[in-house]
Amino acid sequence: MPELTYREAVRDALGKALREDDSVFIMGEDIAEMGGSMAVTQGLLDEFGPTRVRNTPISEMAIVGSGIGAAIQGMRPIVEIMYEDFLTISMEQLVNQAAKHRTMSGGQISVPLTIRTQGGAGWSPGAQHAQQLEAWFVHVPGLKVVFASTPEDARGLLWSAIYDDNPTVFFEHRTLYSIKGEVSDELQPIPLGKARIHREGSDVTVVATGRLVHESLQAAEEAEKDGISVEVVDPRTLLPLDEQTIVESVKKTARCVTAHEAVTRGGFGAELAAVIQHAAFDWLDAPIERVGAAFAPLAFAPGMEQWAVPHADDVLEAIRRTVARG
């Protein structure tokens, strides 16, 4: 099986869609000649030309708004928001327009728009270029929210996002672009709303997203040395959520840790914990532990940044708390 980086996997899905479907086009800040600030769209301008690979002014509101217009008109636009921090500027278009049109038009209009964005700490981008805001969008009916953690998932999920008739916010993680992973020869679409069990275990379930999937897998290996068997589940799609897979896993292990890089308070882990405690109340043998970032604007200083966001050892500690004795 071929191996791709996460970055290449995203590009592969974009290229295939552009190649096979004239209704697909991409636009965003510096995505054409420069190939995007994270080099995801490199080479696409050469292959598909400036009509289908378009630079935009620095206006996230305009980027999303024009994407909505094109989508309503029958296109399948993929727009890029350079940093997910800047999704906040496009909030009106995203929350009040994109998410609402299908319902408010009685189904006459659909908005098959994909909004790619990225974020995450680990390279000192400072407080305004490193947030993890996925939970904001899970709160908005009418949107779909995807957070891919591996090359294979990124490619297959992005494809499904492009071909979903609803506006989909597709989160990538800055520090995952360079990781490599095996992918199938041909792009295999991965349905939205389907979780992935990365590792099976019997003592505790870790439900992790984004970078924390990898940290959790590392924590699971450490825990294994102490005889603690950890199951790691990545929901991959946060909205809609594959509650069944997650709940079944927790019913099997009786303990659960949620893990994401976003701040703990009001994070997606809170939603997971609520879903799990309700559906698996009589199966829980310990309180659900949440792992996330400290509740503070992220520091620029590398040492402080590392302290603020969670790593494998934080997940491991949480795992140990759930199986604690005495």
Partner 1 sequence: MATEVKLPRLGQGMESGTIVRWLKTEGDAVSKGEPLYELDTDKVTQEVEADSDGVLLKIVISDGEVDVGTTVGIIGAQDEDVSALLADAQGGNGDAPAAAASEAPTAEDATPPQAEQQPAPPPSDTESQAEPSDTESQAEPSAPSEATEAPPARAEGERVKASPLARRIARERGVDLSLISGTGPEGRVIAEDVEKAAVQPAAPSAPAAAPEFEVVELTSTRKTIARRLTEAWQAPVFQLTVTADATELVATRERMVELMRESDTKPTVSDVLTRLVASALVRHPPVNANFVDGKLHRFSAANVGLAVAAPAGLVVPVIRDADRKSVQQIAADRADIVSRARDGKLALVDLEGGTFTISNLGMYGIEQFIAVLNPPQVAILAVGSIEDRPTAIDGEFAIVPTMAMTLTCDHRAIDGSEGAEFLRGVKAYVESPALAL
How many residues at the interface with partner 1, by CB under 8 A?
A: 29
Residue 60: active-site member: yes
Answer for the pair 269, 290: CB distance below 8 angstroms, yes or no.
Answer: yes
The answer to the question of residue 187 lying near partner 1 (CB under 8 A) is: no
Residues from 257 through 316 that contact partner 1 (CB under 8 A): 263-265, 281-286, 289-297, 308, 310, 314
Q: Exactly one of 8, 29, 80, 129 is catalytic; which is it?
A: 129
> To the nearest whole angstrom, how small is the minimum distance from the Cβ of residue 175 to partner 1?
20
Q: Exactly one of 8, 29, 60, 172 is catalytic; which is it?
A: 60
- Name the phi and psi angles at 154, rounded to 5: -60, -45
What order do you get walking across the sheet with 256-263 strand by strand? 196-199, 230-234, 204-208, 256-263, 289-293
Q: Which is nearer to partner 1, 134 or 289 (CB)?
A: 289
Among residues 246, 254, 253, 251, the alpha carbon closest in space to that of 275 is found at: 246
3-state secondary structure of 84: helix
The answer to the question of residue 163 lying near partner 1 (CB under 8 A) is: no
Tokens 């957070």 found at: 147
Residue 129: active-site member: yes
> To the nearest whole angstrom, how small is the minimum distance from the Cβ of residue 148 to partner 1?
24
3-state secondary structure of 136: helix
Q: Which is nearer to partner 1, 107 or 326 (CB)?
A: 326
Residues from 237 through 256 that contact partner 1 (CB under 8 A): 254
Cα–Cα dist 206/62, whole Å: 39
3-state secondary structure of 226: coil
Q: Kindly list the residues in this chain that would bind partner 1 in the complex (CB under 8 A).
A: 254, 263-265, 281-286, 289-297, 308, 310, 314, 317-318, 320-321, 324-326
Catalytic sites, residue numbers: 60, 129
